[in-house]
Amino acid sequence: MKTIICKEPGKFEWRQSTPPMPSKGHSIIQVEKIGICGTDIHAFGGTQPYFDYPRILGHELAGTVYDTSSESVLKKGDRVTIIPYHYCGKCIACRKGKTNCCVHMQVFGVHIDGGMRTYVSIPNHLIIKDNGLTLQQLALIEPLAIGAHGISRAHFSLGDFILVIGAGPIGLATMEMANVRGATVIAMDVNANRLRFCKEALNIAHTILANVDDPIDSLRAITKGDMPTAVFDCTGNLNAINSAFQYTAHGGEYILIGLQKGDIHFSHPAFHKRELTLMSSRNATIADFEHVIKCIKKNEIDPEKYITHQFKADDVDQAFKTCANPSSVVIKALIDFSA
């Protein structure tokens, strides 16, 4: 079978490898679509935390069941996606239902080899059947679930102003799920094309071009001086993360969905006087995946509108170069393994 390996930063290598063998409790999935996400791009660029090379990338996966174990409810040909977070089920986080931050977490395509290959073996409890969704929709369930989990961490009320910094796929997913929950969303980015997409595709009324507009003045004007009740960073950019502490309302919450390698710095007195809450949001739970699927089936969100580029597996180098180019107009790119 075909396998694409990120051998080192900036370098992919093609190999022919042996397909996985059937095993108890697992199914073999024939990979059809793989989404390229920020984690993949950071890994390719050498800036992803907790990452070792060589590695097979890819965790936003849609495929079909090629083979399955006898006790499985799956059958050959079923369209599926996966939950890419391999958790132990025994640690303190797992015992409390927080499988998304398992002490021994192994993320498919990050800590362990991922889906950029023809066939993968996946534990049955991490496989989600199509529920009537298309392969393209299935490939975007995971990034939408990341946004859903971030939103679930916050405690804003109906109509509250919330700020999402970063209009990449995870930021857009966060905005979508905030819309579903009834927030008044403000989008901030340095890319005018992405903010245009927010307005046209997601109906976000308030946008701030951070490298042109003054963020604090803009937020005060939009919120009539209150500032946003919840702020979500989806950039993973250290300067953006440090700056955003001053954007949050008194008594508000700051949720870090993006991840970077450095240390966060902020003024303790400024943080303390507003009694802010700082939280991280890691991965997603099965409940988040189920919530996203329900929203898609109710036509509250449409994952396919994000897909602006599709590449064949043979063009993986060009796909990553395009996605990593800040001037590109990529919103979401998929690699087609079936082509």
Q: Dig out the tokens for 136 from the structure.
A: 């393209």
**The pLDDT of residue 248 is above 80:** yes
Instruction: Classify residue 128 by its DSSP letter.
Output: E
Cross-strand pairs, 187: 164, 207
**The pLDDT of residue 161 is above 80:** yes
Cis peptide before 54 (omega within 30 of 0): yes
Report pLDDT for 78.
Answer: 96
**The pLDDT of residue 258 is above 70:** yes
Calpha distance 204→242 (Å, rounded)? 24
Domains of the chain: residue spans and CATH? 2-139+302-336 (3.90.180.10), 147-280 (3.40.50.720)
**Per-residue pLDDT tens digits for 166-192:** 999 999 999 999 999 999 999 999 999
CB 198, CB 168: distance < 8 Å: no
Residue among 151, 195, 193 at smallest CA distance from 174 = 151
